[in-house]
Amino acid sequence: MTRIIFAAVAAAIASLALISSASAGALMKVGVADDRLMQRLPGRAASTAATWQQRGVRQSRVTLVWGLIAPAASSVKKPTGFDPRDDQSAGYDWASVDAAVAALKAHSISIEFSVTTPAPIWASKVPSRREPTYRPDPAEFGDFVHAVASRYGTQVASYALINEPNLWQWLTPQWSCTGTTEASCRAVSPAIYRELFRAGHSEIKALTPRAQVWGGSLAPLGTATRQGAKSSLGPLLFLRRLGCVKENFARDRSSTDCRSFKALSFDAVAHHPHSSWHAPTQSNGVADSVTIGTIPRLTTTLDKIQARGGLLNGSVSGAEAARRPLDIQIDEFGIQTNPPDAWSGVSLVKQSDYLQEAAFMMWRNSRVKLFSQYLWQDEPLDKLSITAGSWQSGLYFEDGEAKPSAAAFANPFWVDLPRRSRKATVWGQVRPGGPVTVKVQSRSVGRARYAALRTVRTNRAGYFSFQTVVKSKTAFRFYYDSDGYGVVTSSVRTVKPR
């Protein structure tokens, strides 16, 4: 969150009722985001990437923090002789990024760059404030993005520009207030982001036209208040103001930040729908928020903004840009655990269950093309963790000990039985993917042993699904022969009609 996250379904075999690929993300990619392992722990990038490849990770996000790569980040003046457009200019430090890119490329993992603030102080429009997130200069950002795209070229498949721009930790100011009441405040971070994105987007497309440039990268919710340096915007409010539409989605071309409005072109929309300790299907009840259970809020809002001319789909050209719905790329999603985080973590078992349910939910949504785990390994738990610091959402503890979710990552499994229904969807995936024969078993209440339910063949991304009738409380599991590991069994899912 705020820390420095497969073609059509294979033909159905006899007696297998697959969900249509038109209504489900049959080839949804699996991703991981963990910059600590890939950049901040020396010597870990290569081994981490090798493990990810074995576990079916197809994409990884690498965060490029502007102020950590550019020189003299704390100075109000740009270093004399430094050329920010030249990646070879003295002062740039690309070492950790180079190592991450080399490791991911060597293991055939697609690379996403998140190019983001905090910026060097000298790159602010008001450097005298000495705030690395305050009104970054779009021209300076464009120069930095030019250097990034020049250096890495076609090695990078996609870019996301500015991480979580709806949060004060990454971009300020979020609001501008003319008085002491909240009614006097207007959201300004969307307009600041609009110009930063435009500057970066033009540089990337000029150098690597085939690279995707994603917009958004939004945090799941903002703050309750509008005043103060630590106030943030909910993602839906941010998007409405970004596209210059009002709350009712009427066009706004007259307010201060919309008078010379020109729609941005996103190749897709990235989002970070963390749900904290809530189950994936729960809404947190916060206005303008989008967590994992309320992704339809995001797609509906995007579609309405696009229909009013507030956003364009850059993955297509011509009239289609105004009509084709934008894909969703979840490049960061995590569930923190207790232990070790007693303040915001769920139990180890719940984390495993929640991650598997969330994966099923996102696979079922045809708009979602990527689902990325954040993090792979816990960050250190320290005194700052509650308010600002580290995350403990890894599949492994900081010391490398596996959580239950680590085993489930290899074969996520879910059985979905809606209320007042006896028809359940049985869904799973075998990673790293490829056609695999899976044997699904079930055991009704009162029976001592599992019985064979169905044998299925996964698609080339490792997914399978079918529907079955559930008359009473029933437990399900599946097993398969994994090369090098013998017979592997999934977790157990138990459902009953309600």
pLDDT for 25 equals 54
Residue 182 confidence (pLDDT) above 90: no
The mean per-residue pLDDT over the stretch 150-177 comes to 97
- 423-495, which class in CATH? mainly beta
On the question of pLDDT at 10 being above 70, the answer is no
**Residue pLDDT, tens place only, 429-445:** 999 999 999 999 999 98
Domain with CATH 3.20.20.80 in the chain: 29-410
- What is the CB neighbour count within 10 angstroms for residue 478? 25
Asked if pLDDT for residue 147 goes beyond 90, the answer is: yes
What pLDDT, on a 0 to 100 scale, did the predictor assign at position 280? 96
Per-residue pLDDT of 319-336, as tens digits, reads: 999 999 999 999 999 999
Ramachandran angles phi, psi of 428, nearest 5°: -165, 175
Query: Within a 10 A sphere around the Cβ of 347, how many other Cβ atoms?
Result: 14
Nearest to 141 by CA among 112, 172, 164, 162: 162
Place 390 in a pLDDT band, splitting at 50, 70 and 90: confident
Please compute the mean of the pLDDT values over residues 6-19 and round it to a whole number: 32
Location of each CATH 2.60.40 domain in the chain: 423-495
Pick from 52, 63, 155, 153: nearest CA to 113: 63
Tokens 């007693």 belong to 342
Is pLDDT above 60 for 231?
A: yes
pLDDT higher than threshold 60 for residue 191: yes
Query: Residue 253, exposed/middle/buried by CB under 10 A (0-12, 13-18, 19+)?
Result: exposed
Q: Omega before 298 cis (within 30°)?
A: no
Class for the domain spanning 29-410? alpha beta
Q: How high is the mean pLDDT of the chain?
A: 92
Would you tell me the crossing angle of helices 45-54 and 95-106 to the nearest 10 degrees?
30
pLDDT for residue 296: 96
